[in-house]
Amino acid sequence: MIVRIVKMTFEPSKVPEFLANFEKNKNNIRNFKGCHKLRLLKGLNDENVYFTYSWWDNEEALNQYRISNLFKGVWSKTKTLFIEKPEAWSLVNAVEL
């Protein structure tokens, strides 16, 4: 299992547009083959900073999503709303308590 974390910083006026696009696509992303969980988090003190956390079977499942038409459609819209370059990490558990 891997966790994909993506940090996105939006132009403040574009946040509603991002949220509408996320709402429209969240179930399709979550139900994509190999995705077990999807979470959207917002910065506590940064109203325009959001993180997506998604849990995937493995890197291959994540890569299949990343080359899908679903991802291409979502990302083509999302990337026009940023004021900073997004950051992304793929992680595996080192220790779980």
For residue 10, which of 63, 47, 59, 60 has the smallest C-alpha distance? 47
| pLDDT, position 45 | 94
Q: How many CB atoms lie within 10 A of CB 54?
A: 22
Residues pairing with 52 in the sheet: 6, 40
| pLDDT, position 47 | 93
Please tell me the class of the 2-91 domain: alpha beta
| pLDDT, position 61 | 98
Place of tokens 């299949």: 64
- 40-91 pLDDT per residue, tens: 999 999 999 999 999 999 999 999 999 999 999 999 999 999 999 999 999 9
Q: How many helices (H) and strands (E) does the chain have?
A: 3, 4
| pLDDT, position 38 | 98
**Do the beta carbons of residue 33 and residue 71 sit within 8 Å?**
no
